[in-house]
Amino acid sequence: MGASQPIRSKPILTLTVNPALDVSTSTEQVVSVHKLRCSASRLDPGGGGVNVSRVVRRLGGQTLAVHTAGGATGEAYRRLIVAERVPSLVVPIEGSTRQNFTVDEATTRKQFRFVLEGPRLSEAEWRACLSALASSVPPGGFVVASGSLPPGVPEDFYARVARMVHEGGAHCIVDTSGVALTQALAEGVFLVKPSRRELGEHFDTVLDSTQSQVDAASALVATGAAEYVALTLGGAGAVLASKSGVIRLPVPPVQVLSTVGAGDSFLAGFVLRLAQGRPAEAAFRTAVAAGSAAVMTPATELCHRDDVERLEADLPAAVWLPG
Ligand SMILES: Nc1ncnc2c1ncn2[C@@H]1O[C@H](COP(=O)(O)OP(=O)(O)OP(=O)(O)O)[C@@H](O)[C@H]1O
Ligand SMILES: [Mg+2]
């Protein structure tokens, strides 16, 4: 296929009920009491699903990002999405879209991430999110529901999403934590992408050994909670479990500047390749490369396509092994 010819792809829709205007900056040292003089700030339209949409687009794919927006921050957020040419369907809300604040401490290279709760959604507003989804579920395509739930949204929200996506004949992918994750898994999803901490919390344990990680991921597959479980382990790589078995991949050696958005980049790489008709093991390699490419970029910046392609080429083959 020629380079100029786009790969035929199934539709990808992302859902973000709690987006955040990401403000990032740096300062010499974070101390109490004194004013902390900061460098010029950078603004990004963040939040799980929207980040997935942004990375899919960077990697050459197409998505529709369904997200809430409200207040002056919501306006700024929408402008940034438009500037990045990410197609979106906005669900207006009364409250103001939250801001998250990331500060890089220059002297130590530590990163401080302040994550706000988000505006309370009324029942009419969260139901409007579900209606927006209901009218746009792409049959045969993929829906990525990602991020925390803001106050007011019931904890079974992603379970409702999963049911709706399933009824619409699409594949539901969920990336969240806590009770919202547990409820989505009780409904059953196509793919789930927990971190080590999130999956540990789900099983009320600490997944501190390779075997415990493989067992936990495989257990979700065995019980029908998810067809695919992509367990990400930060700098220790990732595990993919399905009925075909288990694959473990290490991360490529990269210089870590900021891990913000690594999980979202991972998921974007994964869903894009699935939508392009690639098998899960190939999608998993792109995902690990995209996650690792994201940590090479500073602050809230997401991954670059050329880094993803370069890192992916150097990853070992992804081979299914018995769980
Ligand atoms: N220190 C690292 N070095 C190399 N790659 C990394 C590192 N941390 C994360 N990654 C890459 O990013 C992927 C996802 O990372 P991680 O497990 O931290 O996700 P997450 O906890 O969901 O992140 P997020 O904070 O964005 O939600 C990993 O599987 C890996 O490919
Ligand atoms: Mg995550």
Nearest CA to ligand 1 atom 15: 234
Q: Which two tokens stand for residue 201?
A: 């919390």
**301/186 Cα distance (integer angstroms):** 34
Retrieve residue 103's tokens: 């500060």
Residue among 89, 153, 145 at smallest CA distance from 117: 153
CB 104 within 8 A of CB 111: yes
The token duo for 305 is: 């396509």
Q: Which ligand 1 atom sits nearest the alpha carbon of residue 194?
A: 22
Nearest ligand atom owner, CA of 297: 1
Burial (CB count within 10 angstroms: exposed 0-12, middle 13-18, buried 19+), residue 96: middle
Ligand 1 atom with minimal separation from the 232 CA: 17
Question: Cα(146)–Cα(17) distance, rounded to whole angstroms?
Answer: 8
In short, whether 256's Cβ falls inside 6 Å of ligand 1 is yes
Q: pLDDT at position 323, please?
A: 81
Q: What is the pLDDT of residue 4?
A: 57
Does residue 315 have its Cβ closer than 6 Å to ligand 1? no
**How crowded is the C-beta side of 120, counted as CA atoms within 13 Å?**
3
pLDDT score for 3: 54
Q: How far apart are CA 30 and CA 70, in angstroms?
A: 31
Residues of the chain falling short of pLDDT 50: 1-2
Pocket test for ligand 1, best of 18, 207, 251 (most atoms within 8 A of CB): 251
Rounded to a whole number, what is the distance in angstroms from the first to the last CA of the chain? 36
Instruction: Give the three-state DSSP class for 280.
Output: helix
Q: Residue 9's Cα: distance from chain center in Å? A: 20
Sequence-ordered strand ranges (E) for the chain: 12-16, 20-27, 42-46, 64-69, 88-92, 98-105, 110-115, 142-146, 171-175, 189-192, 226-232, 238-242, 245-249
Rounded-to-integer distance, Cα 100 and Cα 112, Å:
11
> For a substitution probing ligand 1, which of 50, 232, 310 has the most ligand atoms within 8 Å of its CB?
232
Mapped onto helix, strand or coil, the DSSP state of residue 77 is: helix
Domain architecture of the chain: domains with CATH = 12-30+39-314 (3.40.1190.20)
Atom of ligand 1 nearest to the CA of 287: 31
Evaluate: CB of 241 within 6 angstroms of ligand 1: no
Cα–Cα distance measured from residue 241 to residue 137, given in angstroms and rounded to the nearest whole number: 26
Cβ of residue 195 lying under 6 Å from some atom of ligand 1:
yes
**The 189-192 sheet, strands edge to edge:** 88-92, 64-69, 12-16, 142-146, 171-175, 189-192, 226-232, 238-242, 245-249
Q: Is the CB of residue 233 below 6 angstroms from any atom belonging to ligand 1? A: yes
Residues linked to residue 45 through DSSP beta bridges, in sequence order: 21
For 21, phi and psi rounded to 5 degrees? -80, 110
Q: Hey, which of 51, 193, 248, 259 would you mutate to test ligand 1's pocket, going by the most ligand atoms within 8 Å of its Cβ?
A: 259
Is any ligand 1 atom within 6 A of the Cβ of residue 181? no
For ligand 2, an ion, list residues with CB under 5 A.
263
Residues acting as catalytic residues: 264
Q: Ligand 2 centroid to 317 CA: how many Å?
A: 24
pLDDT at 1: 45
* pLDDT for res 5: 64
- Cβ contacts of 83 within 8 Å, gap of 6 or more: none
Q: Report which ligand 1 atom has the smallest distance to the Cα of 290.
A: 31
Spatial contact of 269 and 234, defined as CB atoms under 8 Å apart:
no
Does 266 contact ligand 1 (Cβ within 6 A)? yes
The pLDDT of residue 298: 87
Give distance in angstroms: CA of 228 to centre of ligand 1: 18
Contacts 24+ apart (CB under 8 A), 228-231: 228/190, 228/191, 228/192, 228/280, 229/191, 229/192, 229/194, 229/199, 230/191, 230/192, 230/193, 230/266, 230/267, 230/270, 230/284, 230/287, 231/193, 231/194, 231/195, 231/196, 231/199
Q: What is the pLDDT of residue 2?
A: 47
